[in-house]
Structure 1
């Protein structure tokens, strides 16, 4: 009986470890969001400047874009992290 519990507990621990190993920590999602948004913001800044031809206005557009899309990307990553498909 005790041996069975040890075996079951070790199996549950292994399953729990494997589940955690396939999962990303929130800090990694934040780092990915920031790095991706830097790339995306430079793109937005260039495109905005091309259309409005004003650096200040283009920078304002890029700044708003940076904040809103970084927040959306973080939650998008966290949701996808919960989906087991393709892992």
Structure 2
């Protein structure tokens, strides 16, 4: 499937998604706590969004891995073949 090929490996994208989601879940918990003043409600909010946001981020990363916009262009390799390097001719 085209979505799963890119410049980064699938495991790398998955680990990035998990680490980002951990940080995001802490933020969601703190915000939930600030708005509800209830640890149980804040925990419920943070825990239910973890799985969906990991999956959304993972697919978002894989989709962006297919986009070349904003990335440096790769230099084409020259075909050197079997040609020996030129040597300066020195008269004898």
Which range, TM-score by smaller chain? 0.7 to 0.9
Unaligned runs of 5+ in 2: 72-92
> What secondary structure is seen at the aligned counterpart in 2 of 1:86?
coil
Equivalence for 1:37: 21
Q: CA deviation at 1:33?
A: 0.3
Q: CA deviation at 1:66?
A: 1.3
> What secondary structure is seen at the aligned counterpart in 2 of 1:24?
coil
Q: Give the RMSD, CA atoms, in angstroms.
A: 1.5
* 1:23 equivalenced with 2:10 (yes/no): no
Largest Rg, 1 or 2: 2
Task: State the alpha-carbon separation in 2 of the partners of residues 43 and 64 from structure 1.
Answer: 14
> What secondary structure is seen at the aligned counterpart in 2 of 1:67?
helix
Q: CA deviation at 1:68?
A: 1.0
Normalized per residue, which structure has more helix?
A: 1
Q: If the length of structure 2 is used for normalisation, what is the TM-score?
A: 0.69
Unaligned runs of 5+ in 1: 1-19
**Match of residue 61, structure 1, among 45, 58, 69:** 45
Q: If the length of structure 1 is used for normalisation, what is the TM-score?
A: 0.72
Pairs aligned (count) = 67
Task: State the alpha-carbon separation in 1 of the partners of residues 51 and 43 from structure 2.
Answer: 12
